Amino acid sequence: MKRKINNNRLTNEARACIGVSVYKLKADPTQAPGVVDCSSFVQWLLSLEGIALPRLAFEQLHFCNQIVFDPLEARAGDLIFRTGHQPQYLDDPTLAVGHVGFVTGDLTVIHAPSKEKGVVEDPDVLTFFSYKSAGVCLGRLG
């Protein structure tokens, strides 16, 4: 099912959380956007467009309609996944993920990586993939 989302609106809402939202591992989704972890942040963000994402990053990956393995194929509105510190998977260990971010219309990535950083914006998808954990893929909603 194709989903049309307002990327400009979501990008603006996500950017409003930079330097404001507090990161907490296993954050209660009802506290978003004030208190978030990576997946509750993305879950809250997409809920603004009426999309009910699952709670955890690995579940969010499997909610996507299409999985793209080339970061250079990133498009606005994609979710971007990497292994993170505690990767999980449903049935395919090659799709183990532990971290998720949102790709903006400028092809930057907004995500909540840690308590020290809160919500940040990486300048591009390759920067997102260059952290200590390996990049896995993009998830496309429509």
Q: Considering the domain boundaries, does residue 69 fall inside one?
A: yes
**CATH number of the domain within which 92 lies:** 3.90.1720.10
Other C-beta atoms lying within 10 Å of the C-beta of residue 83: 19
Please state, in angstroms and rounded to a whole number, the distance separating the CA atoms of residues 13 and 11: 5
Q: Considering the domain boundaries, does residue 39 fall inside one?
A: yes
Amino acid identity, position 40: S
Model pLDDT for residues 34-67, shown as the tens digit of each residue = 999 999 999 999 999 999 999 999 999 999 998 9
Q: Considering the domain boundaries, does residue 2 fall inside one?
A: no
Number of domains in the chain: 1
- Say if residue 33 is preceded by a cis peptide, omega within 30 of 0: yes
Model pLDDT for residues 6-44, shown as the tens digit of each residue = 999 999 999 999 999 999 999 999 999 999 999 999 999
Stated as kind and residue range, the H or E segment containing 23 is strand 22-23
Domain housing 19: 7-140
